[in-house]
Amino acid sequence: MHYTLPFGDDELKFSLPAPWPPADVVEGRQEVEPLEAGEIERRLTDFARHIVSHHDPDRSIWAIFTDVTRASPDQTLLEPVIRILEQTDVPIKLMCAVGMHRPSTRAEKQAKLGPWLSNSFEVIDHDPATVVELTTVDGVPVEINPLLLDATLISVGVVEPHQYAGYSGGTKTVVIGCGGPTTIARTHGPEFLNRPGTRLGNIEGNPFQRFLRAAGQHVGHEYAINVVMNASQEIVHLDMGSPDHVHDTLVSQARQLYEIPVHRAPYDVVVAGVGAPKDANLYQASRAATYIALSAQPAIRQGGVIILPAPLPEDGGQGTGERNTMDALRRFGPTPALIDHMLQHGCRPGEQRAFIIAQMMQAYRLIVVGAQHPDFLPPLGIAQARDMPAALGMAEAILGTKTPRMLVVPHALKFMPVPAGNR
């Protein structure tokens, strides 16, 4: 039997050696029909007319879109809206919510927005070095790009499982994507990440989510356009309006699609698929492994092996946060020393990923498969294999068995395996 995973823009196929038993496979529920393109455009056009009817003509409009690491259909969501808004005399500009990631290239902006939006309007990256502080929430400064002040803000994004926010979407695109270094470092730091409610799939009592919503009110984030997508990257749910209401509505629908019961947990080995654009670097791709390991009810046993196929053409990543994470891993390794250091001293923007990786690797082993430049991984304390047969052999040696129980999760950033009875 062959198993197929996304791998960059291509696929990776593998089979299990004898005497491994067949693996279980987590697939998303595909019975939810994707929305028709005409319906999507009609609903977005109606929403744009609503914005026009309620808009203060003295306020400019900023459309906030996601960077290349987010598989959000930004052109589909923004183009119908802006075609209506441009009929007014209100200035319209677009900002890429890069957070602490590297600036996006012109080609990436064009790929995200399409030729009309990228060529007809001013399109810039958020610059985290230019933020202003508005207030504090839970002791955390709310820093925001000053260009967004006193403007009407329209964000786009995808509602899907998120390690800290529970589910992404809502006001996160603005508060974090256009936020400042201190905001990002504190909300993504050990203090927040160690709190019980900050976990994958959790909204109720989540301090990270509570901060996002309060900060969004202070920033004046008025409108969000969010979607839920299936494994084929088709839009199956769409909502727009107040960011918190949109988020609540789509999270309830997303749970039915993304939280998948598995019946033979706990597993010895879990293969976590990623695919483009998230498998471009370790910073992003490692989320698939930590989603498996650090969910509310992990489907893998203590001491199990997580296999992460990812080409990683950017190695660790090129942004400030990515570089900080790789520096921390090179300095400490994914060890208790790293965890203790960050609990005592905090972390720089981005280093929270090193903290999360270290947390995961106290209980599980990680093997990265197929990296284009694999030599960068061992200095980080992370094992690598050239292909799946090599990774499976390494898993056998770690586990001491040739008949491990395996779970394959082709889209581990989207679909959460939940032990049956715990969902």
Domain boundary among 256, 285, 316: 256
Q: Are strands 267-272 and 300-309 parallel, antiparallel or unpaired?
A: parallel
Whether the predicted pLDDT of 423 surpasses 60? no
Residue 315: pLDDT over 70: yes
**Can you tell me whether residue 149 is helix, strand or coil?**
coil
Average pLDDT estimate for 396-401: 98
- My answer on whether 219 and 275 are in the same domain is no
CA dihedral 160, 349, 181, 219 (to 10 degrees): 20
**pLDDT tier for residue 198 given thresholds of 50, 70 and 90:** confident
Do residues 244 and 281 both lie within one domain? no
pLDDT of residue 62: 98
Mean pLDDT of 257-285: 96
pLDDT of residue 42 exceeding 80, the answer is: yes
Quote the tokens at residue 106.
């012109």
For residues 303 and 209, state if they share a domain: no
Going by C-alpha positions, the residue among 141, 130, 125 that lies closest to residue 175 is 141
Residue 125 within a domain: yes
- Does 279 fall in a domain? yes
Q: Cα–Cα distances in Å, from 289 out to 99, 149, 242, 317, 360?
A: 22, 37, 32, 17, 8
Strand partners, 122: 93
Rounded CA-CA distance 84/42 in Å is 12
How high is the pLDDT of residue 346? 87
Q: Out of 256, 282, 312, pick the residue that ends a domain.
A: 256
**Is 32 within a domain?**
no
> Contact, 305 vs 268, CB < 8 A?
yes
Pair 320, 390 in one domain: yes
Q: Can you read off the two tokens belonging to residue 234?
A: 């088709």
Q: What is the DSSP letter of 33?
A: P
Please count the structural domains in the chain. Answer: 2
Tokens of 52: 């026009």
Judgement on whether residues 209 and 304 belong to the same structural domain of the protein: no
CATH no. for residue 165?
3.40.50.11440
Give the end of a domain, one of 205, 224, 256.
256
Can you point out the beta strands (E) in 46-165?
61-66, 92-97, 122-125, 132-137, 140-144, 152-158, 161-162
Contact (Cβ atoms closer than 8 angstroms) between residue 68 and residue 293: no
At residue 231, does pLDDT exceed 80? no
Q: Which residues of 214-234 are buried (b: 16+ CB within 10 A; e: fewer)?
A: bbbbebbbbbbbbbbbbbeee
Quick one: pLDDT at residue 281? Answer: 98
Portion of the chain with pLDDT greater than 90, in percent: 83
Average pLDDT value for residue range 302-323: 96
> Which has the closest alpha carbon to 297: 273, 261, 270?
261
- Structure tokens, 154: 């329209």
Q: Are residues 163 and 137 in the same domain?
A: yes
Number of continuous H segments (helices) and E segments (strands) in the chain: 13, 20
Together in a domain, 140 and 113: yes
Cα–Cα distance measured from residue 84 to residue 116, given in angstroms and rounded to the nearest whole number: 14
Q: What residues contact residue 229 under an 8 Å CB cut-off, 6+ apart?
A: 71, 73, 158, 160, 235, 236, 414
| CB proximity list for 139: less than 8 A, separation 6 or greater | none
Is residue 324, in this structure, part of any structural domain at all? yes
48 and 181 co-located in one domain = yes
- Work out the percent of the chain whose per-residue pLDDT is above 70: 99
Q: What is the mean pLDDT of residues 377-388?
A: 98
Residue 335, domain CATH: 3.90.226.30
Query: What average pLDDT does this structure show over 147-172?
Result: 95
- Residue 320 has a pLDDT of 85
In a domain, 376, yes or no: yes
- Quickly count: other Cβ atoms within 10 Å of residue 277's Cβ: 17
pLDDT at residue 241 greater than cutoff 60: yes
Whole-number pLDDT of residue 352: 87
Contacts for 405 with CB less than 8 Å, ≥ 6 apart: 21, 264, 267, 268, 269
One domain, residues 250 and 270: no
Lowest-pLDDT choice from 49-63, 77-91, 210-224, 337-351: 337-351
Dihedral angle over CA of 315, 321, 325, 330, nearest 10: 70
Residue 325 has pLDDT above 60, yes or no: yes
**219 in the same domain as 71:** yes
Q: Dihedral through CA 362, CA 298, CA 4, CA 382, nearest 10?
A: -10
Which structural domain, as residue segments, surrounds residue 215?
37-256
How many Å apart are CA 66 and CA 59, to the nearest integer? Answer: 22
Q: How far apart are CA 64 and CA 148, in angstroms?
A: 10
Assess whether pLDDT exceeds 90 at residue 327: yes
Q: What pTM value is reported for the model?
A: 0.82
Helix (H/G/I), strand (E/B), else coil: 79: helix
Q: Are residues 147 and 207 in the same domain?
A: yes
Same domain, 156 and 96: yes
Name the CA dihedral angle for 197, 142, 346, 67, rounded to a multiple of 10 degrees: 80
pLDDT tens digits, residue range 216-230?
999 999 999 999 998
Interacting residues of 265 by C-beta distance below 8 A, sequence separation 6+: 299, 300, 407, 417, 419, 420
- Output the average pLDDT for the chain: 94
14 in a structural domain: yes
* pLDDT, position 30: 60
